[in-house]
Structure 1
């Protein structure tokens, strides 16, 4: 009796290029929760996820659009500053649930030094979550705190006001970009004060 070709159909998400199951397996066997960082066209999402055979369980999460709703964030919704704040919020929520250590899961994103996914990593670290990492992949403090944007905006405002208005047209509707660095600190302090039951002293990695 003749038989047809023998092959195994790949899982749907692998066929669609959405999941690297080899990488996922290595993360899962660590037996630690995963910090899943994902980007959309407009937002940043950070979830603390635990593996379950019936489906992953989200223990804590934060979405960048929450920053404007809960903390009056007037900056961009998906840049490095926002990625840091979103992860910081997710990290504090995870600590409230008893999570102390995670592994970073960036999915199919290309790991680029100083990128938004590693700004998110820095946010988790500063929230007191332990994450295996190398310090040289993290963005510098000035970029994380919107300092580079504020300085550039101030320079453009003084030397090329027309380009300044074009470049920051949408941001100017919410807040002058040269004030973003100060505003970042205000929002960060607001997030900290909303988690006053968590000690943040000595938690920075």
Structure 2
């Protein structure tokens, strides 16, 4: 291990690979709140967060496990679930008086069409203002689950219809 007067020990969260402080600093100094999208092994989590000196404050949150209340029957960790979770977050944020945010995907890889961008697409289609590039969003077929119904019709045969019904149920919350 390096020693000496010039040795600098990195912050704990940086050593653990949990925080990119360069990116976090750029997001925190922005005046808009952040739409934070995180993937776990079983769920998609979306939150609207603002940074304060005492610590970050979560204003609105949505978890893909809540999609069952709206009639969604598919997996809670796939692209349609991310799309619906982003839409649910946007509806709740709009009801809470939030108008827009900037996307924070954390340490997730920014691959075009990824699940974190499916959540972004759901939020944007619900009417939430988030700056983005259209090229990075997944195709509509992927957000509706048509690709899953195509390769696994026995397991997800009616997934596109189920996603459409869930979208209607979530958007009904806005009114």
2:161 aligned with 1:187: no
> Where does residue 74 of structure 1 map in the other structure?
73
2:20 aligned with 1:41: no
Q: How far apart, CA to CA, are the structure 2 residues paired with 1:6 and 1:143?
A: 51
Query: How far off its partner does 1:6 sit?
Result: 4.2
Q: What are the residue-to-residue correspondences of 1:143-154 with 2, within 5 Å? A: 143-154=142-153
In the comparison of the two structures, how many residue pairs are matched? Answer: 172
Query: How far off its partner does 1:8 sit?
Result: 3.5
Return 5+ residue gaps in structure 2 as ranges: none
Q: How far apart, CA to CA, are the structure 2 residues paired with 1:135 and 1:104?
A: 14
Q: What are the residue-to-residue correspondences of 1:15-164 with 2, within 5 Å? A: 15-68=15-68, 70-154=69-153
TM-score normalised by structure 1 residue count: 0.80
Q: How far apart, CA to CA, are the structure 1 residues paired with 2:49 and 2:166?
A: 26
Return 5+ residue gaps in structure 1 as ranges: 155-163, 169-176, 197-205
| Partner-residue secondary structure (3-state), 1:77 | coil
| Partner-residue secondary structure (3-state), 1:113 | coil
Q: How far apart, CA to CA, are the structure 1 residues paired with 2:24 and 2:5?
A: 29
Runs of 4+ with deviation above 6 angstroms: none
Contact 2:149 2:160 in 1 (8 A): yes
> Where does residue 157 of structure 2 map in the other structure?
178
TM-score normalised by structure 2 residue count: 0.93
Q: How far apart, CA to CA, are the structure 1 residues paired with 2:121 and 2:58?
A: 20
